[in-house]
Amino acid sequence: MYVSSPIPHKKARIEIIPLIDVMFFLLASFMMVSLSQVHMKGIKVNLPSGSSGETQSKREYISVSVDKDGHYFFDKDEVTDTDLQQRLVKVHQSSPEAKVFMRGDRDTAHLNVSHLLDMLRSAGFYKISFEIKSEALKGVPGPRG
């Protein structure tokens, strides 16, 4: 004789809705983290501040800098005037639409910044962004220093 159990017997089910919720949460978290990462190619200089500064996307770009002593840098490499000019011409020939971010130390002479701008223009770059420290970010620690 077969006696059935008073506890109803149900088959186990795998609920997929909570799994989808967790996956969307992880996707959103990874997207936010990847958007907040900034890849710094330039050297650390004491940037001047401005109230109209806004954050730019820095995907494919080159960074040229001049420090307070008048030394020029291509990305993070210190270069001479002629070497910098040759590198800029080579980059312009390979990708003429590359973004150029120019960084000048606050304490450098105006002559150094204008000379760097002249080298960029003679290499063929006319769309040049000047990096400044935004007034809104003053006092907020971050990757821009």
Q: What is the pLDDT of residue 25?
A: 93
Answer whether residue 12 is part of any domain.
Answer: no
For residues 91 and 62, the answer to whether their CB atoms sit within 8 Å is yes
Q: Is residue 56 part of a domain?
A: yes
**Identity (one letter) of the amino acid at 88?**
L
Q: Would 20 be classed as within a structural domain? A: no
Residue 126 belongs to a domain with what CATH number? 3.30.420.270
The answer to whether residue 22 is domain-embedded is no
pLDDT tens digit sequence for 94-145: 888 888 888 888 888 888 888 888 998 888 888 888 877 766 555 544 444 4
Q: 59 lies in which domain range? A: 49-137
72 located within any domain: yes
Domain assignment present for residue 4? The answer is no
Tell me which residue of 24, 56, 61, 55 sits closest to 42, measured CA to CA.
61
pLDDT in tens, 26-63: 999 988 887 766 556 566 666 666 665 555 444 567 88
Does residue 25 fall inside a structural domain?
no
Number of domains in the chain: 1
CA of 35: how far to CAs of 22, 48, 81, in Å? 20, 25, 35
Residue 92 belongs to a domain: yes
Backbone angles phi, psi at 108, to 5 degrees: -80, 160
